[in-house]
Structure 1
Amino acid sequence: MAEFNNVTVTKAASVYFDGMVTSRKVTFADGSFKTLGIMQVGDYKFATKEKELMEILAGECDILLPETEQWQTIGAGESFYVPAHSKFEIKAKTLIDYCCSYLASE
């Protein structure tokens, strides 16, 4: 899906890691939401509340998912899931444009 229709966008950005990562919330009519963001080159550790689908729209990064010891390279057009209530690491090799979908826990 290249665009979202009939949504509400929160104007104020969420800013993390001293401005190195930013995102904006997009809320759909059914109450579900996603965030659209930019990640500067760097190393980051994130914690999740909900299950997440991270789509890399542009750029390249290495990820270390929960309960794994092997880093994976993810690039533009690829995605990965992160379980709820977990932590994961990202090494952004380039500027990353991403979309994060928050999924109902199963």
Structure 2
Amino acid sequence: MITENQYFDGNVKSLGYETPEGKSTIGVINPGEYEFGTALKEIMHVIEGTLTVLLPEKTEWQIIPAGNSFEVSANASFKVKTAVQTAYLCQYRT
């Protein structure tokens, strides 16, 4: 089954699906700055565009261009910002 997700007044939209490895979402983030919380470990792959991320317990933002990824542990929060529409794949893992 495919699920539709919408956050931050429609500025982040994704489609969710499940594989034998676990749940994933693929979506688009509009320009802006957003804070997300995690329940499971997340592996975020930037497909197109660029994300600048502030990971948990870090004080410096990191630039993640297309073709790269980052991980966030379970039960944490992180911030992202982008100046252009950015596509991503987020894998949720235990």
Give your verdict on TM over 0.5.
Answer: yes
Task: Give 5+ residue unaligned stretches, structure 2.
Answer: none
Greater RCO (CA < 8 Å, at least 6 residues apart):
2
* Cα 1:75/1:31, change in 2 over 3 Å: closer
Q: Which has the larger radius of gyration?
A: 1
Q: Distance in 2 between matches of 1:13 and 1:26?
A: 9
Q: Which has the higher strand share?
A: 2
Percent identical: 36
Amino acid at match of 1:50: L
Q: Deviations over 1:11-60 (max 9, x none)?
A: x42000000000111211x3722100110000000000000000000001
Match of 1:63 in 2: 53
Task: Give 5+ residue unaligned stretches, structure 1.
Answer: 1-7
Match of 2:76 in 1: 86
Match of 1:15 in 2: 6
- Which consecutive segments of 4 or more residues in structure 1 shift more than 6 A? none
